[in-house]
Amino acid sequence: AQRVTQPEKLLSVFKGAPVELKCNYSYSGSPELFWYVQYSRQRLQLLLRHISRESIKGFTADLNKGETSFHLKKPFAQEEDSAMYYCALSGTGRRALTFGSGTRLQVQP
């Protein structure tokens, strides 16, 4: 079975501080990992995926197969980064994403 764990329900940081949202997964095969974000009053949307290795809104995430992690990082948090963040996994042969429980990021001024 595949599983995604986000250990922090809430992460509160000050503007300009570094941010790391943790995501660990359990999957025996070769997974694809994603980060989705839900800003206040907006739809859930894709933030980034590991295969593209791109930086979106200053966020990056590296897949670490040894530690089975896909942590989301940003060196300097902005107030507009405040949102709910979900890590998601897609395994070979499965037709739907498995989501973690989410982490709410609060960036204080």
Partner 1 sequence: DAGITQSPRHKVTETGTPVTLRCHQTENHRYMYWYRQDPGHGLRLIHYSYGVKDTDKGEVSDGYSVSRSKTEDFLLTLESATSSQTSVYFCAISEREATGELFFGEGSRLTVL
CA distance 21 to 7: 9
**Residue 25 sits in the site that holds partner 1 (CB under 8 A):** no
Least CB distance to partner 1 at residue 85 (A): 10
Closer residue to partner 1 in complex, CB, 6/59:
6
Q: What backbone torsions phi and psi does residue 8 show, to the nearest 5 degrees?
A: -105, 125
- If phi over 0 gives left and psi between -120 and 50 gives alpha, with beta otherwise, what is residue 42? beta
Closer residue to partner 1 in complex, CB, 55/101:
101
- Which positions from 47 through 66 interact with partner 1, judged by CB under 8 A? 49
Contacts of residue 25, defined as CB under 8 A and 6 or more positions apart, other chains included, come to: 2, 3, 4, 5, 31, 33, 68, 69, 70, 87, 89
Closer residue to partner 1 in complex, CB, 82/90:
90
**Residue 90 sits in the site that holds partner 1 (CB under 8 A):** yes
**Residue 36 sits in the site that holds partner 1 (CB under 8 A):** yes
**Residue 6 sits in the site that holds partner 1 (CB under 8 A):** yes
Other beta carbons within 10 angstroms of residue 35's beta carbon come to 23
Closer residue to partner 1 in complex, CB, 57/79:
57
